[in-house]
Amino acid sequence: MTDLVPDRWLTFDGLANARDVGGLPLAGGGRVRPGVLLRTESLEGLSPADVARLTGELGVVQVLDLRKDEELLISGAGALAGAGITVHRLSFIPDSGRGLPELGEDADPMVGHYLAYLGDRGANVVTGVRRIAERETGATVVHCAAGKDRTGVLVALVCSAVGVPRDEVVADYALSATRIDALFRRWTTAAGQPMPASEEIDRHRPRAEVMQTFLQLLDERYDGPVGWLHEHGLTEGELATLRSRLRDDNTG
């Protein structure tokens, strides 16, 4: 597996888990094009300098917000919305009536949650993929609360669809585990609360085996992530546009 290069991380005053999906390798050569898809946690902590960098240097033109309405009411839409950037509200979790699938006693509960995003909010998942594909220029920011679960699922589907090898998709998902302490430190400082015990923090770390199992189940049930996307309305033309937007086949 190719090492994930350190400069994929993006440093901001108000974000702890921000990185460019660009730079991930493609099967057969090339890499995901940088400056097209950025993944982060929620954006309410952005400083004026962060907003200026995102809208200027990084060329952000739209945000995909995967949070529930309840989260939006508590935390707000974030400073990019206030700066006039288009925000698409695409909640991956219904406010009530979640349909968690039966997976057996040995399955990690997070796998069920990830499958539930697809079952409960499949239309929003596909719309998120379309929104990324349809922008001819500029960058898209996709985020949820911590930038690891809902964001991780959407990014994994997109990366799988454009040809990032499975082990690299899983490794990118798991990379957020290195930022969980910083996320909790930011949250607890803002709330004036102490840091949780290390066992509680560890419970929130993404684990590679969760994404691996989730994607394997998509292989078994839908002939893979692309099969799921097709079955839920993504056309071949839209898939081709997504690949054209994100693939840079001229890089080594």
Cβ atoms within 10 A of the Cβ of 140, count? 24
> Which domains, ranges and CATH numbers included, belong to the chain?
6-94+104-243 (3.90.190.10)
Lay out the sheet containing 19-20: strands in order across: 19-20, 37-40, 139-143, 60-65, 86-89
Per-residue pLDDT of the chain (252 residues; tens, 9 = 90+): 344 444 799 999 999 999 999 999 999 999 999 999 999 999 999 999 999 999 999 999 999 999 999 999 888 888 999 999 999 999 999 887 676 777 767 788 999 999 999 999 999 999 999 999 999 999 999 999 999 999 999 999 999 999 999 999 999 999 999 999 999 999 898 888 999 999 999 999 999 999 999 999 999 999 999 999 999 999 999 999 999 999 999 865
Cβ atoms within 10 A of the Cβ of 231, count? 13
